[in-house]
Each structure stands twice: as C-alpha cells, then as structure tokens.
C-alpha cells in the first residue's frame, strides 16, 4: 500500500494548527518539521505540478516560519516554470491568506522571466480564472505586496 503523494502530504502538513494548546503544539511541531523536510527536498525539477503543490500548501495565516522554506523552494525552480506554475494556481491563490498570495506574486513580479511566463500562462486561462486572478492582483497592487511602483502593472499585461 502506497502512502500519500508528495503533493498531498505537503498540502496536509501546510495546515499548521493555529490554536495554542499542548496538544496542538505537539501536532504543530510534527507538521512543521515534516513540512520543512518536504520543502527542503525540493530540487526545482518537479515542474509546474511542484509549483502548484507548494503554492497550494500555503494555507494558514500563522506559519511559525515554516512557509519560508516553501518560498525558498519556489526559488529553486527555473523562472519560466515558476511564473507559469503560479499563474496556474489561481484557486490556491484565492483561498490562501492574503499575505501569502501577495508574497508569491511579488516573487513573480520581481523577475522579468517569471513575469513573462506568468503573463503567457495567464493568457491561456479560462475567462473566469483570469477574472479571479485579476482581482487578486488588483488587491495586492492596491495594498502592500505589489503597491510599489516597480512591482505594479507587471502581471497580466494586455
């Protein structure tokens, strides 16, 4: 019998407990350690599916530093794969806490190759996915993450 896939396991481990009790501290420590181990094992050749799994795992507001390992893992991917994978992660970006979607989009916007790949994949999305992604980007351009002049207007260029 096979265990869960890497993407299923990283998704599950990314759901770190937000409460502070002895039981949740033990469970949180176990999940935190496994999550960091799974992200540290990423080499960057896992393709768009690897990007999607990492992005989808960013599920809670308080990560206790675990998500930094996921952001570092995302940076191991070729920039073109990274940009395309983020664009394909519309639903995950919509459902995750805004601080994490903003952080991921900012990493995309900071490099021309990832931005170009993001925009090319964006153009291939279904209209409703494009609309959702535009809303997320607009929100972040109006607030903290993509509000700086150098970061605004780079994603979803016409």
Handedness of CA 115, 119, 122, 127 (dihedral sign): positive
Handedness of CA 68, 70, 75, 79 (dihedral sign): negative
Task: Tell me what the mean pLDDT of segment 35-57 comes to.
Answer: 96
Whether the CB-CB separation of 31 and 16 falls below 8 Å is answered with yes
C-alpha gyration radius of the chain: 16
Q: What residues does each domain of the chain span? A: 6-142
* pLDDT(1) > 60: no
Q: Which has more confidence, 148 or 69?
A: 69
Q: Which two tokens stand for residue 150?
A: 């150098």
**pLDDT tens for residues 11-42?**
999 999 887 767 688 888 999 999 999 999 99
d(CA 117, CA 129): 16
Under the banding of pLDDT at 50, 70 and 90, the label for residue 150 is: confident
Task: Tell me what the mean pLDDT of segment 64-83 comes to.
Answer: 95
pTM over 0.85: yes
d(CA 42, CA 81): 14
User: Other CB atoms closer than 10 Å to residue 77's CB: what's the count?
Assistant: 24
d(CA 69, CA 80): 20
- What is the distance in angstroms between the CA of the first residue and the CA of the last residue of the chain? 49
**pLDDT tens for residues 90-146?**
999 999 999 999 999 999 999 999 999 999 999 999 999 999 999 999 999 998 899
């Amino acid at each position: 019998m096979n265990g869960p896939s890497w993407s299923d396991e990283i998704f599950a481990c990314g759901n770190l407990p937000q409460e502070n009790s002895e039981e949740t501290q033990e469970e949180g420590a176990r999940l935190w350690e496994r999550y960091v181990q799974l992200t540290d094992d990423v080499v960057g050749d896992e393709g768009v599916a690897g990007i999607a799994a990492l992005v989808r795992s960013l599920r809670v507001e308080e990560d206790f530093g675990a998500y930094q390992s996921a952001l570092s893992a995302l940076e191991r991917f070729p920039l073109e794969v990274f940009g395309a994978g983020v664009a394909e992660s519309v639903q995950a970006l919509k459902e995750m806490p805004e601080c994490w979607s903003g952080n991921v989009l900012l990493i995309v916007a900071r490099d021309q190759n990832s931005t170009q790949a993001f925009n090319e994949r964006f153009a291939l999305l279904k209209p409703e996915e494009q609309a959702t992604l535009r809303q997320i980007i607009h929100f972040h351009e109006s607030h903290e993450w993509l509000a700086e002049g150098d970061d605004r207007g780079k994603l979803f260029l016409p």
